[in-house]
Amino acid sequence: MSSLRILFLGGSGVISTACVRAAVAAGHDVAVLNRGSRSRPLPEGVRELTADVRDGDAARGAIGGDRFDVVADFLSFIPDHVETTLSAVGSPAQYIFISSASAYQKPPRRLPVTESTPLHNPYWQYSRDKIACEDLLVQRSRRDGLPMTIVRPSHTYDDTLLPTLAGWTDIARMRAGKPVVIHGDGTTPWTITHAEDFAVAFTGLLGHPAAIGDSFTITGTHAPTWNDIYGWLAEAAGVADPRFVHVASETIARWSPDHGPPLLGDKAHAMVFDSAKVTALVPEFRTRVTFDEGARRMIAFHDAHPERRRVDADLDALFDRMIAHADAAGV
């Protein structure tokens, strides 16, 4: 494929950082547009445009006369965001919207989940907003011929992002010999994909004519149980005999309402995906980093960065109370 001019809206998050790197490695001319506050460095040669993408005039001013073959939108979460973005970026040959696999039916009626699985999530507003964005884009595609592609990632991680309920607080609890809460009975399979693997599929869709007007789930094929996920993290953290306490997701949601929507609307369910559709267009896409390796990378990263080892005192205390309640109830 010839070199493309690509604009990433975002470009500094877990997924978008990996995709920017992969696009540069593939020889594309890459620019990113964000507010200029980022914690991850950009690859050499990437142009950084600074503006608040929510401000259409500011975004248009930052883009200026540049024209891009592909615009990859990692920053739109509601239909108004999409409308503002489309008005600001001109007329690319492909507009890629990053949706979410959490938009798929919860609970799923059958597995594996495919692109034809209905989009319906009564538990999580985030997912419903992504569905509304997709509805808008499908309407614009049919009515106006908008050359859009919809991408639905599921749980995608890098070295910085721990997948547990309390993040580093859970690792600190393990190392201190304290019990850690796992939602449900821990046996639910959960597809978890490294950002480097995701980026292979994503980069393969850039400028691909067969991707226009269509939607793609991008997940790996690695679906360990939550017991496996926590166990690998404990092993990587040097904890030989961690104690895990299993608590119903509904109970966790009552004790910690902030955890409710992403748990009941996503992580509480068995989520296994069929990646055949994206693999047909990007045959080199496969799972290369499984979570046993991912866990080792995460712990090594956090051990090397003490500023990232933050314990949330409120969550720590909440889980102490929750575990005491579960122990008293004989759970």
pLDDT for 23-40, tens place per residue?
Answer: 999 999 999 998 877 778
Is residue 147 situated within a structural domain?
yes
Specify the number of domains making up the chain.
Answer: 2
Q: Are residues 46 and 35 in the same domain?
A: yes
Is residue 282 situated within a structural domain?
no
Q: Are residues 149 and 293 in the same domain?
A: no
Q: Are residues 143 and 59 in the same domain?
A: yes
Nearest-angstrom CA–CA distance, 163 and 308: 14
Nearest-angstrom CA–CA distance, 74 and 304: 29
Is residue 278 situated within a structural domain?
no
Q: Are residues 213 and 314 in the same domain?
A: no
CATH code of 75's domain: 3.40.50.720
What DSSP assignment string belongs to 217-251?
Answer: EE--S---BHHHHHHHHHHHTT-SS--EEEE-HHH
Q: Are residues 197 and 65 in the same domain?
A: yes
How far are the Cα atoms of 54, 65, 86, 251 from residue 83, in angstroms, in the given order?
10, 20, 5, 39
Is residue 163 situated within a structural domain?
no
Q: Are residues 113 and 252 in the same domain?
A: no
> Would you tell me how many other CB atoms lie within 10 Å of the CB of residue 141?
18
Nearest-angstrom CA–CA distance, 82 and 108: 27
Task: Give the rounded percent of residues in the chain with a pLDDT score beyond 70.
Answer: 99
Is residue 162 situated within a structural domain?
no
Is residue 283 situated within a structural domain?
no
What DSSP assignment string belongs to 177-210?
Answer: T--EEEETTS--BB-EEEHHHHHHHHHHHTT-GG
Q: Are residues 61 and 173 in the same domain?
A: no
Q: Are residues 319 and 200 in the same domain?
A: no
Q: Collect the ranges in the chain with pLDDT lower than 70.
A: 1, 331
Domain's final residue, options 201, 218, 235: 218
- Region for residue 10 given its phi and psi (left: phi exceeds 0; alpha: psi -120 to 50; beta: otherwise): left
Q: Are residues 127 and 253 in the same domain?
A: no
Specify the amino acid at residue 254: R
How far are the Cα atoms of 20, 43, 63, 120 from residue 40, in angstroms, in the given order?
11, 10, 22, 34
> Would you tell me how many other CB atoms lie within 10 Å of the CB of residue 303?
14
Is residue 238 situated within a structural domain?
yes
Is residue 301 situated within a structural domain?
yes
Q: pLDDT tens, 187-232?
A: 999 999 999 999 999 999 999 999 999 999 999 999 999 999 999 9
Q: Are residues 180 and 205 in the same domain?
A: no
Listed in order, strand segments (DSSP E) in the chain are 5-9, 29-34, 47-50, 70-73, 94-98, 148-153, 155-157, 180-183, 192-194, 214-218, 244-247
Report if pTM > 0.75: yes
CATH code of 227's domain: 3.90.25
* Segments forming the whole domain that contains residue 243: 168-190+222-272+289-328
Q: Are residues 314 and 208 in the same domain?
A: no
Q: Are residues 115 and 236 in the same domain?
A: no
